[in-house]
Amino acid sequence: MTATIRTTSLVVALGLLAACTGEDTKPAMSTQDVVQAVRGFVEVRELEELDLIATHSRDSWHSIDDYFLIYEGRRAKYLVDFGRRCHELSDNRRIVPDERWDSNKVRARFDTIRGCRIIKIYALTEAEAAELESIGEAPGSRN
């Protein structure tokens, strides 16, 4: 009788564990879905397109996916659109130097980041940047 209780308890415990781990596991958005979501966001929010932005040595960026990144300047954040997949954003085996016409500015259509030509630059508010950063993440995955 004791073996039956142990077996039943083990089966119930494994079932609960499986239910708990499977609850929040939602498949991540595909790249195509992320691209459509970001482009839809730009269109709905009517983000202001810029020709250039001022840069400084302490600026940084992080990618949303291989098509977009958020550029963080001193006083503002920007959405950078490459128009095509930029594998160099996530592949550190091949680092290509940036091309700049002016060392203190980044220009759309002329300059590059990691070797990928910047097609468009959009101005972002803090709230818009936070919303874009969460695109493609599972609910509750961000602290």
| Residue range 41-71, pLDDT digits in tens | 999 999 999 999 999 888 889 888 889 999 9
Task: State in Å, rounded, how far the first CA of the chain is from the last one.
Answer: 46
> Is there a domain that residue 6 lies in?
no
Cα dist from 39 to 32, 42, 44, 48, 138, whole Å: 11, 5, 9, 13, 19
Q: Which domain holds residue 126?
A: 31-133
Look up the pTM and report it. Answer: 0.72
Domain count of the fold of the chain: 1
> Is there a domain that residue 100 lies in?
yes
Q: What are phi and psi of 83, to 5 degrees?
A: 75, -15
Cα dist from 98 to 34, 70, 84, 86, 113, whole Å: 25, 16, 17, 13, 5
